[in-house]
Structures are given as structure tokens and as C-alpha cells.
């Protein structure tokens, strides 16, 4: 079955953790300081997905060494002699996100059909800075461990936007099963792949809208939702609500273009429509829904 255009909205929160450290800022969480907005790169989100693919037994091209995305020269050289068909059949992340493989000026380039924008927090975010001490000394003569800094967000509700291009999907042989796997990863990857700096993050809402053609794009879904903070300086998912009026209107106005909505909604995220608390199913009752397990 041919993959059509899709668009994605993805929300997860981070509590006393570091969603995406900036190596140029002593690994502080990435921030837009003028807006007090926490930022997370698309590469960080793709890293979670790739790690989940590996966990599920899929072979991938971009692997991780010391928590950094790398591609080994020997691996690229080995793939240089592989056909494009073999690469796209065996490397799931290339089908999803594309890749560039360069060996001595010879390029294999695949443009990925699945792309995400940078994520940003819907709330204003404060940073927590703490001193940490290592129990290991820096030399044999030293009697004390080394001091360092640990930077975390107090609370951040992060929203991502994504697009799946049906036309590019044809070029990388993206399959419907790959989209099912993507849905799985968006629900399960972050909590199941927690590290010391990443524990405290939980997916709260995921919406993948599958259109009926390879032309439709409705735009960044984040423009159609609004966060209502029930207290000042929220610190927990239970202290805020998500207003869905704009998104529901957008989907209703374009429902003839929508084939199906794949979703999960965490029960701790309060959803509001027309000033009333609703379930996801109630909010989008006039549209074809498929819940992600």
C-alpha cells in the first residue's frame, strides 16, 4: 500500500532532567533565553527512535558511540558496494530518515520522508543548577574527587511537529509497517531508554494524521493548541491543561482530506474543548481514530 502524506504532533514532558544538553554551553539544556523556552533538536528525537529500532532488533545505519550519533568508516565502505535496494530493505532508519554515505567522493544520498522540526516548550522554563562531586580523584596524589555542574529543567512540556512525505516515501520504499513502528517508538522509546540525565521524561500526546493523498499539508499543529497553566510556574503535568479547540476546528474543516488519525493520549494530560474536560475520543469523535498500543 502506498504511503500518503502524514503530519505529526508529539508532546512529552521533562521533570528535573536534561532533555537535550548543549555541548557549547557546558551541557546546559538548550534554551531560547529571550523567551525562556526550552529547545530540543530533531536529532535528539530521531536518536530516541533509532535506539528503539535497535532495541526491537532492526539494523540501522546511524549508530551511537558514547551517546553521539556516528557512522563508522568501515561500515560506510561496506555499504558502498551494496545496492540501493539492499540498503533500503535492510536499514530501517534510512527508509525513515534518509542518509548520506560518502566514500572518497562517491555519494549515496537518500532523502528521508520522515522529518521533524525542533521541539520547544509550551511553558516558560526555569533551569536548575547543582554541584556534583565525583568520588574518583583526577590523579593519584589527589585526595578528593572532582567537582562539576549538573544542569536540568525544573519542568518542560515539549512539543514537536513532524511531516511524512508520501512522494519521498516512494523513493526510500517506506512501508506501512515502518509507520506502525514509528508510532510504537513515539509511545515507548523515551521512558524505556532513560539514562541518568534523561529519566523523568514521559510521552503525553501523539497524533499522526494520515491524509488521503500525497499533496495535503495543513501546517504546524502546534499553532492550533494552547497550554493553560493552572498555577504559576508549573512543575507537573497535573498543573496544566491543553486546549484543543483550534486543532479540532482544523481537522473538522479538512476531514474530507483525512484518512485516519493514529494517536495516544496520556490520562494525566487534561484535554479541554469548549471549556470542558474531554477525552481524546470525545474531542475527535467525528473523525476516524486508531489508538496506538
C-alpha to C-alpha distances, 98 to 10, 45, 87, 114, 121, nearest whole angstrom: 21, 15, 11, 8, 27
Q: What is residue 142's three-state secondary structure?
A: coil
CA 235 to chain CA centroid, Å, is 21
* pLDDT reported for residue 135: 47
CA separation for the pair 31, 25 (Å, rounded): 10
Residue boundaries of the structural domains of the chain: 6-291
156: phi then psi, degrees, rounded to nearest 5? -145, 125
Q: Does pTM top 0.95 for this prediction?
A: no
CA separation for the pair 175, 215 (Å, rounded): 18
| DSSP class of 140 | T
* pLDDT reported for residue 136: 47
Per-residue pLDDT of the chain (293 residues), as tens digits, is 799 999 999 999 999 999 999 999 999 999 999 999 999 999 999 999 999 999 999 999 877 544 555 555 666 777 777 889 999 999 999 999 999 887 767 788 999 999 999 999 999 999 999 865 554 445 555 555 556 689 999 999 999 999 999 999 999 999 999 999 999 999 999 999 888 888 999 999 999 999 999 999 999 999 999 999 999 999 999 999 999 999 999 999 999 999 999 999 999 999 999 999 999 999 999 999 999 99
CA separation for the pair 178, 216 (Å, rounded): 21
Residues 6+ apart with CB under 8 A from 229: 123, 239, 240
> Strand (E) positions, the chain?
6-17, 21-22, 28-29, 31-32, 37-40, 63-65, 68-70, 98-103, 106-111, 114-116, 119-121, 127-133, 147-164, 201-211, 226-229, 240-243, 258-265, 270-273, 276-278, 289-291
To 10 degrees, the CA torsion angle through 260, 225, 191, 196?
A: 150
Nearest to 201 by CA among 10, 43, 3, 5: 10
Amino acid at each position: 500500500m502506498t504511503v500518503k502524506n502524514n503530519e505529526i504532533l508529539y508532546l512529552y514532558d521533562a521533570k528535573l532532567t536534561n532533555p537535550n544538553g548543549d555541548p557549547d554551553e557546558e551541557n546546559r539544556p538548550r534554551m531560547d533565553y529571550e523567551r525562556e523556552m526550552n529547545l530540543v533538536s530533531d536529532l535528539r528525537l530521531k536518536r530516541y527512535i533509532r535506539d528503539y529500532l535497535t532495541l526491537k532488533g532492526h539494523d540501522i545505519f546511524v549508530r551511537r558511540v558514547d551517546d553521539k550519533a556516528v557512522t563508522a568508516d568501515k561500515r560506510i565502505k561496506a555499504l558502498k558496494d551494496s545496492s540501493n535496494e539492499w540498503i533500503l530493505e535492510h536499514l530501517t532508519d534510512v527508509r525513515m530518515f534518509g542518509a548520506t554515505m560518502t566514500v572518497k567522493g562517491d555519494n549515496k544520498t537518500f532523502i528521508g520522508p520522515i522529518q521533524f522540526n525542533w521541539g520547544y516548550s509550551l511553558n516558560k522554563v526555569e533551569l536548575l543548577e547543582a554541584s556534583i562531586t565525583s568520588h574518583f580523584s583526577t590523579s593519584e596524589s589527589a585526595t578528593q574527587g572532582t567537582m562539576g555542574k549538573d544542569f536540568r529543567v525544573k519542568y518542560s512540556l515539549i512539543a514537536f511537529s513532524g511531516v511524512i512525505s508520501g512522494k519521498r516515501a516512494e523513493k526510500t520504499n517506506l512501508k506501512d509497517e515502518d509507520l506502525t513502528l514509528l508510532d510504537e517508538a513515539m509511545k515507548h522509546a523515551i521512558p524505556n531508554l532513560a539514562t541518568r540525565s534523561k529519566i523523568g521524561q514521559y510521552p503525553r500526546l501523539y497524533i499522526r494524521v494520515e491524509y488521503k493523498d500525497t499533496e495535503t499539508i495543513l501546517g504546524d499543529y502546534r499553532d492550533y493548541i494552547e497550554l493553560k497553566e493552572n498555577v504559576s510556574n508549573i512543575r507537573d503535568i497535573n498543573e496544566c491543561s491543553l486546549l484543543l479547540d483550534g486543532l479540532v476546528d482544523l481537522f473538522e474543516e479538512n476531514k474530507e482530506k483525512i484518512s485516519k488519525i493514529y494517536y495516544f493520549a496520556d490520562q494525566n494530560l487534561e484535554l479541554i474543548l469548549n471549556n470542558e474536560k474531554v477525552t481524546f475520543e470525545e474531542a475527535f469523535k467525528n473523525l476516524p481514530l486508531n489508538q496506538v498500543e
